[in-house]
């Protein structure tokens, strides 16, 4: 089984999707912790969508060599998905540690914690 790491960004096939769910092949960040990833057939991910957004549940990202993004994107933390590892494609990069606090803050808002 391929090893998946928390904060890695992979291309993930989100089809089929229904209604307002995020669709298509998208870069997504793995949020699930490494201890859970070791033997899991599913991973909890969040999609990276185009452009920056002012939403409290979005974390805006700039493209860098480390994250491998091609343009400005945002992590939509309102669209978390558990996906089977068979949906996961090539690795794009890794989310930089400078974004971790913003991800935690957005998750706190999403889950009203």
- 68 in any annotated domain: yes
For residues 97-110, average pLDDT: 96
Q: Is 77 inside a domain boundary?
A: yes
Other Cβ atoms closer than 10 A to 82: 10
Q: Is residue 2 part of a domain?
A: no
- Please write the tens of the pLDDT for every residue from 37-78: 988 899 999 999 999 999 999 999 999 999 999 999 999 999
End-to-end CA distance of the chain: 34
pLDDT digit string (tens) for 4-36? Answer: 999 999 999 999 999 998 989 999 999 999 999
Question: What's the domain range around 34?
Answer: 8-111
What local confidence, expressed as pLDDT, does residue 39 receive? Answer: 84
Are 7 and 103 in contact by the 8 Å Cβ rule? The answer is no
CATH number at residue 24: 2.30.30.110
């Amino acid at each position: 089984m391929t090893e998946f790491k928390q904060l890695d960004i992979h291309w993930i096939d989100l089809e089929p999707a229904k209604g307002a769910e995020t669709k298509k092949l998208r870069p997504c960040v793995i949020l699930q912790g490494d201890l859970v990833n070791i033997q899991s057939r599913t991973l909890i991910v969040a999609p990276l969508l185009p452009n920056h957004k002012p939403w409290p549940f979005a974390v805006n990202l700039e493209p860098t060599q480390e994250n491998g993004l091609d343009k400005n994107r945002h992590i939509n933390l309102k669209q978390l998905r558990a996906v089977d590892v068979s949906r996961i494609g090539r690795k794009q990069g890794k989310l930089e540690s400078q974004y971790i606090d913003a991800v935690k803050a957005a998750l706190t808002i999403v889950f009203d914690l």
